[in-house]
Amino acid sequence: MKIAFFDTKKYDMPAFDEYAEISGVTIKYFETRLNQDTVELAQGFDAVCVFVNDTVNAAVIDRLAALGVRAIALRCAGFNNVDVKHAEGKIAVLRVPAYSPYAVAEHTMALLLSSIRRIHKAYIRSRDFNFSLAGLTGFDLHGKTVGVIGTGRIGKVFARICEGFGMHVLAYDKYPDRALADSGAVRYVSLDEIFAESEIISLHCPLTEDTYHIIDEKALAKCRTGVVLLNTSRGALVDAEALLSAIKARRVGAACLDVYEEEGDLFFEDNSGHILEDDILARLISMPNVIVTSHQAFLTAEALENIAETTIGNLVSLFDTGKCENEVHHTL
Ligand code: NAD
C-alpha cells in the first residue's frame, strides 16, 4: 500500500515510519497541504493521509476518486475539513477517534502552573540574571475550586490531576459520568454554579452548536473576579473579544489558551517574520497574565505513537478486510 502524506511536519515522521515499516506500507511525505492545487500529487497512491488544515472538499474528493485513491486517512479526531457526505460511496474516510488523553490534560495543568506561579516570567528574568521576585507571587492550588466543563476522556484525567493537587473539583457535562461522580472525585453542578464558584475553569467539551462561545460576555460576568480560564479544547468555545474585555477590566485573573477561534492560518507555522493581522490575538498575547501555546497540547511522543499506530492500522484494516471501525460516515 502506498500513502501520500500531506502537511508533513518533522515530528510526524518517526512514529509513522516505525508503523509503516511494521505493516509493510510505503509513505511519501509532502510538506504541502492537500487542496485543489496539490491533489495531482496523489496520483499513483492508494490513500492520502491528512491533518486539520488540509482542504478535502467535493472537488478534491472527486479528483482523488478519479485518480484511484481509495481512502482518506485523517491523523486526528476532528473531520470538519472533509466533505464526508460527498465522500460517501466514493472514497472511505478514516480517523483517529482517541489518543493519549494524558497529553492534553497534562498540558492543561502545565499551563495552569506556569501561569499562576509566573514561571513564564521567571524564566525570562533569570536568563537576564534578574533574580528579583517582585511581582512573582502566586497562589496555592491546594484547597482551590476548579470547574471542569466536559468530563470525557480528557476532562476526567484533568479532574483526577486536580484531585491529586487537593483541589475541590466541580464538573459540568451534558451527559454526566456517574462512575466519576460516585468515586467522589468530582461534584456535578449546573453551568451557572461552575461560573459562580470556580476560581479556575477548564474547558474540555467538544465544539458544537451548544458550546459555541460557551464562555461569552454573559458567562464571564457570572464568574468570580480573578478567575483563571484554561482552554485546551477548541478556540470557538471562547468569545476572544469578550475575554479580552474581561481581562482589561481586571475581572479575569489569567487565561491560558492552547486554541484560538481564528487559529487556522496562524498556528503550526512560524509567523515571526510577519505582521500579525489579528489584533485580538496580538493584544491577548501582549497581556502579562495570558499564555498562548499553538495547539500543542496533543504533542507528546505517546500521543504521536497512538496517532500513527491507529492511522496505519485503520488503512491496513480497510485494505485487508474492506472494513474499518474508525470509518466516518456522514450520518455520524
Ligand atoms: P470526549 O468526547 O471524550 O469528551 C467530551 C465530553 O464533553 C463528553 O463527556 C461529552 O458528554 C461532553 N459534552 C458534550 N456536549 C457538551 C455540552 N454541551 N456541555 C458540556 N459538556 C458536553 O472528548 P475528549 O477526547 O475528552 O476531547 C475533549 C476536547 O479536547 C475535544 O473537543 C477535542 O477537540 C479537544 N482536543 C484538543 C487537543 C489539543 O491538542 N489542544 C487534542 C485533542 C482533543
Q: Any catalytic annotation for residue 199? A: no
**C-beta separation of 204 from 151 below 8 A:** yes
DSSP codes of every residue in 223-291? SPTTEEEEE-S-GGGB-HHHHHHHHHTT-EEEEEES--TTGGGTTTS--TTS----HHHHHHHHSTTEE
pTM exceeds 0.85 for this model: yes
Q: Nine-digit cell at 181?
A: 461522580
Q: What is the pLDDT of residue 238?
A: 98
Question: Rounded to the nearest whole angstrom, what is the distance from the C-alpha of residue 207 to the centroid of ligand 1?
Answer: 8
The pLDDT assigned to 330 comes to 78
3-class state of residue 82 by DSSP = strand
Say whether 213 is catalytic: no
Among the residue ranges 54-58, 214-218, 259-263, the one predicted with the least confidence is 259-263
DSSP letter (8 states) at residue 160: H
Contact of 292 with 260, CB cutoff 8 Å: yes
CA of 330 to the centre of ligand 1 (A): 20
pLDDT digits (tens, 9 = 90+) for 13-31: 999 999 999 999 999 999 9
pLDDT in tens, 193-208: 999 999 999 999 988 8
Instruction: Give the per-residue pLDDT at 212.
Output: 96
Residue-level pLDDT at 80: 80
Confidence of residue 90 (pLDDT cuts 50, 70, 90): very high
Kindly tell me if the per-residue pLDDT of 130 is higher than 90: yes
Q: To 10 degrees, the CA torsion angle through 18, 22, 25, 29?
A: 0
Catalytic residue chosen out of the listed positions 295, 325, 327, 329: 295
123, exposed or middle or buried, with CB in 10 Å at 0-12, 13-18, 19+? exposed
Please give the full DSSP string across 293-308, using - where no structure is assigned.
Answer: --S-TT-SHHHHHHHH
Residues with CB under 6 A from ligand 1: 78, 98, 101, 104, 149-155, 172-175, 204-208, 210-211, 232-234, 258-259, 295, 297-298
* Residue nearest (by alpha carbon) to ligand 1 atom 44: 233
Q: Note if 95 is an active site residue.
A: no
Closest by Cα among 80, 88, 78, 70 to 317 = 70
pLDDT average, residue stretch 127-144: 98
Specify whether the CB–CB gap between 315 and 47 falls below 8 A: yes
What DSSP assignment string belongs to 102-113? HHHHHHHHHHHH
- pLDDT (mean) for 176-203: 97
Would the pLDDT of 331 be above 70? no
Residue-level pLDDT at 321: 97
What percent of the chain has pLDDT above 90? 92
CA 79–ligand 1 middle distance (angstroms):
14
Q: pLDDT per residue over 272-285, tens digit each?
A: 999 999 999 999 99
**Active-site residue among 199, 261, 263, 309?**
263
Look at residue 124 in the predicted model and tell me its pLDDT. Answer: 97
Task: Band the pLDDT of 236: cuts 50, 70, 90.
Answer: very high
Grid coordinates representing 22? 511494521
Q: Whose CA is nearest to atom 25 of ligand 1?
A: 153
* Protein residue with its CA nearest to atom 8 in ligand 1: 152
309 C-alpha to ligand 1 centroid (Å): 22
- Percentage of the chain beyond pLDDT 70 is 99
What does the buried/exposed string (b/e) look like for 76-107 if buried means 16 or more CB atoms within 10 Å of the residue's CB? beebebbbbebbeeebbbbbbeebbbbbbbbb
Return the pLDDT at 269: 86
Cα distances from 27 to residues 15, 71, 74, 85, 219, in angstroms, run 12, 14, 14, 27, 47
Asked if the model's pLDDT at residue 332 lies above 60, the reply is no
Tell me the β-bridge partners of 285: none
Catalytic residue among 86, 234, 261, 309: 234
The most distant pair of C-alpha atoms in the chain lies apart, rounded to whole Å, by 65
Q: Indicate whether 146 pLDDT > 80.
A: yes
CA 175 to chain centre: 21
- Which residue's CA is minimally distant from atom 5 of ligand 1? 152
Assign 172 to helix, strand or coil: strand
What pLDDT is stored for residue 207 in this prediction?
87
